[in-house]
Structure 1
Amino acid sequence: MKLNSAQVKQTLNQIEAEVLPDEHPAVTQLTDMFGDHTFFLDESGLKVLEPTEIPETDVQSSEVVSLADWSDASLTSLKPHAPEPTGTVVVFREVKH
């Protein structure tokens, strides 16, 4: 799921991670491997958000999904794995202009 700037900001307020900027050299390779997403890095590896629904509400939310784990102690190399839901849900609030 590709996020807009408001969604990125709301995500970063709810999880401890850094967003990988679209200009980062790894984004093209990650997009080829995993599809068009906004990519996040945290202490355990690479994450993306996948849309979820909260039953009986109109709240927009997404679950954090892990795609790769760090394979070294210096956090410089990632080891991809099958997508794993983390159980963490990010809730998006409507932004008023």
Structure 2
Amino acid sequence: MKLTSANVGQTLGHLDAKVVPYDHPVNEQLVSLFGNHTFFLDQSGLKIVEPEESREDGVVTGRVIKVAKWADGTRTSLAPHDREVTEIIVPLEQAA
């Protein structure tokens, strides 16, 4: 899922990561591999946020999913792997 600026901020409050800018040349490759998402890079690799089912109290949340790991210690290339669901749940603002 592509996140709003506010939701990117919420996510960064739960992750020690950097956002891959939408206009970065690698973003097009990432979209072709993983779909239209906001991508986050951290020390372990590449992550995305996917929406969770709406809760009864109306709070909208997203789950952080790992989709690639660093291929080597230099952290210059990524190796895609099967989606790995994390325990990180992020509260999200509903899109206006």
TM-score scaled by length of structure 1: 0.90
Please list every run of at least 4 consecutive aligned residues from structure 1 whose deviation after the TM superposition is greater than 6 angstroms: none
Q: What's 1:29 paired with?
A: 29
**Ranges in structure 1 where 5+ consecutive residues have no aligned partner:** none
Paired-residue identity, %:
48
Q: 1:47–1:66: 8 Å Cα contact kept in structure 2?
A: yes
Q: Over the residues paired in the alignment, what is the CA RMSD in angstroms?
A: 1.3
1:7-86 map, 5 Å = 7-53=7-53, 55-86=55-86
Aligned residues: 94
**Ranges in structure 2 where 5+ consecutive residues have no aligned partner:** none
Residue 54 of structure 1: CA displacement? 5.6
Is 2:56 the partner of 1:89?
Answer: no
TM-score scaled by length of structure 2: 0.90
Q: 1:51–1:62: 8 Å Cα contact kept in structure 2?
A: yes
Amino acid at match of 1:63: R
Moved more, 22-31 or 48-57: 48-57
Q: Deviation digits for residues 14-67 of structure 1, max 9, x if unmatched?
A: 211110001111100010111100000011000000001364221111000000
- Inter-partner Cα distance in structure 1 for 2:13 and 2:88: 13
Q: 2:6–2:93: 8 Å Cα contact kept in structure 1?
A: no
